[in-house]
Amino acid sequence: MGKKLSGRDLIKLGFPKNNSLNITLGQINRYQKKRKKAQILEDAKKVLLNPENYKGDGVWGKIAESLLNPVEVKMHKLHNTRAPFQIYGENEIDTQAKYQLYDALKLPISVQGALMPDAHVGYGLPIGGVLATDNAVIPYGVGVDIGCRMSLSIYPIPVSYLKGKKHQLENILSEHTKFGMYETHKIKGDNEIFSRSEFKDIPMVKRLKDKAYKQLGTSGGGNHFVEFGTVTITDANNEWDLPLGEFLGVLAHSGSRGLGANIAKHYTYLATKQTPLPKYVQHLAWLDLNTHDGQEYWLAMNLAGDYAKACHDDIHRRISKLLGSKRVALIENHHNFAWKEMLNGVERIVHRKGATPAKKGELGIIPGSMTALGFIVRGRGNNESLNSASHGAGRLHSRRKCKQLFTKSEIKKELKTNEVSLIGGGVDEAPMAYKDIKKVMANQLELVEVIGTFKPKIVRMDK
């Protein structure tokens, strides 16, 4: 008997000659490499004899499933017709983004879709794409940065602080917010999320726990930011009983860091193996929620979403402490996530990739660029948009294009005109890279109502 476990060893144990062999070898290679062959075979025999006892187990559950419900993997074809859909601000959206949605609407699992007015090309679903599916989740329909979100804290501090205490506020952002791959806080915050069972029960998530702990309260690169600005409340009947007028606000945009990215990568790979699609749409591969991997991804995705919130809570906690003030309001929302929602009386999986949830009465924050207004909104509950709205202004130019089109001096001029102070930030995040937020908002009047605005004044991004 050789040292490395082979399919022949499993057949000798009594494993059937079907896809369960590949699945078993894959799971063992992924999670049991360091164990002795004899021990692995002993455990494999137990699973083979009583697979129902191992359903849901992090390592053996998938193997048990393959023994109980053998599935023949086959290439899936797109339907010839699209599921019903609605596009908002169609004239402002590039053709390629629309065609990405059209492809997604032809998936056998698709029920309904929508495209938000800030939409642009992404991987799998376009950014700004919303898709309802039947009992299936598309990891790339959620996105790589699972649970990427906005959170706005409003403080009972006069906006004159932004000028009078500008240097101190800049110092808070430059010294006490962390960005990118390597910056972390010296004094780590703690959070109850780290006692969650998913960090013990899901082997690939368990491996990410230490990194997640180190990255708590930090923001990613790219378009992620933390900024001070002016909040203007324009609706007298607002949810916080705040008077009309101006307040100091802190707006943050970031997601689930390395935890979410690794979960997305792992389960996208599994999805492409389980529901193979033609190459040009392979990023739309899905996981059936009745399967081991589908259920595991759902748990991992929700963990990553809650972790993203924990990061935001930590960012705002640190800033509140440094300001010496308690916030009087918090508005927050995910925009890279999937939810179980009722649609025409049936539970569906609603993916919002770069789209803000906008059920009737639901609050959200839709930012512009670093020199443009952001909007505090209340959802109207529009069924045709799948209760969704845009997540921002949306990109007009790709990152590569920005480097060709704009210079640092042009960006400085734009910032000076708008009296915005920027710490970090590259040419690829130039204010001119984004669509006109006012046009975007005009194209979704039937989706949300505006109850306030946020004007950035001191912006911190990755260097």
Same-domain status, 52 and 185: no
- Is 137 domain-assigned? no
> What gap in Å lies between CA 351 and CA 83, rounded to an integer?
15
pLDDT at residue number 2? 53
Domain end marker among 68, 99, 114: 68
- Radius of gyration of the chain, Cα coordinates, nearest whole angstrom: 24
Instruction: Report, as an integer, the average pLDDT of 40-58.
Output: 95
The candidate with the shortest Cα–Cα distance to 356, out of 382, 329, 319, 326, is 382
Taken in order 58, 61, 63, 69, is the CA torsion positive or negative? negative
DSSP secondary structure letters along 392-428: SS-BSS-HHHHHHH--HHHHHHHHHHTT-EEES--GG
320-368 pLDDT tens trace? 999 999 999 999 999 999 999 999 999 999 999 999 999 999 999 999 9
CB 364 within 8 A of CB 358: yes
Same-domain status, 396 and 281: yes
Same-domain status, 56 and 203: no
110-121 pLDDT tens trace? 999 999 999 999
Q: How many domains in the chain?
A: 2
388-442 pLDDT tens trace? 999 999 999 999 999 999 999 999 999 999 999 999 999 999 999 999 999 999 9
Which residue range is the domain that position 325 belongs to?
149-461
What number of residues does the chain have? 463
Same-domain status, 213 and 327: yes
Above 80 in pLDDT, residue 3? no
CB 238 within 8 A of CB 452: yes
For 338-361, give one letter per residue: b (16+ CB within 10 A) or e.
bbeeebeeeebbbbbbbbbbbbee
Domain end marker among 20, 35, 68: 68
- Is 14 domain-assigned? yes
Question: Three-class SS of residue 151?
Answer: strand
Run of H or E including 260 = helix 257-274
Same-domain status, 176 and 63: no
Same-domain status, 201 and 348: yes
Same-domain status, 28 and 159: no
What amino acid is encoded at 349 in this protein?
I
- Is 261 domain-assigned? yes
Question: Three-class SS of residue 237?
Answer: coil
Per the structure block, which two tokens stand in for 259?
A: 């935890």
CB 174 within 8 A of CB 319: no
> What gap in Å lies between CA 103 and CA 84, rounded to an integer?
12
Strands 355-357 and 388-390 turn out to be antiparallel
pLDDT at residue number 72? 81
58-106 pLDDT tens trace? 999 999 999 999 888 889 999 999 999 999 999 999 999 999 999 999 9
Instruction: Report, as an integer, the average pLDDT of 277-305.
Output: 97
Widest distance between CA atoms in the chain: 78
- Is 220 domain-assigned? yes
Per the structure block, which two tokens stand in for 260?
A: 């979410």
Beta bridge partners of 452: 233, 376
In the chain, what percentage of residues exceed pLDDT 70?
A: 100
Same-domain status, 240 and 385: yes
Domain end marker among 20, 44, 68: 68
Same-domain status, 227 and 320: yes
- Is 88 domain-assigned? no
- Is 135 domain-assigned? no
pLDDT at residue number 1? 45
- Is 85 domain-assigned? no
- Is 195 domain-assigned? yes
**CATH number of the domain where residue 174 is located:** 3.90.1860.10
440-462 pLDDT tens trace? 999 999 999 999 999 999 999 99
How high is the mean pLDDT of the chain?
96
Same-domain status, 294 and 186: yes
CA angle at 228 for the pair 224 and 230, rounded to the nearest 5°: 125
pLDDT at residue number 34? 84
Question: Lowest-pLDDT range, 28-42, 209-223, 327-341, 361-375?
Answer: 28-42
Same-domain status, 379 and 283: yes
Label residue 89 left, alpha or beta by phi (over 0 means left) and psi (-120 to 50 means alpha): left
> What gap in Å lies between CA 225 and CA 251, rounded to an integer?
8
Above 50 in pLDDT, residue 242? yes
Q: What is the pTM of this model?
A: 0.95
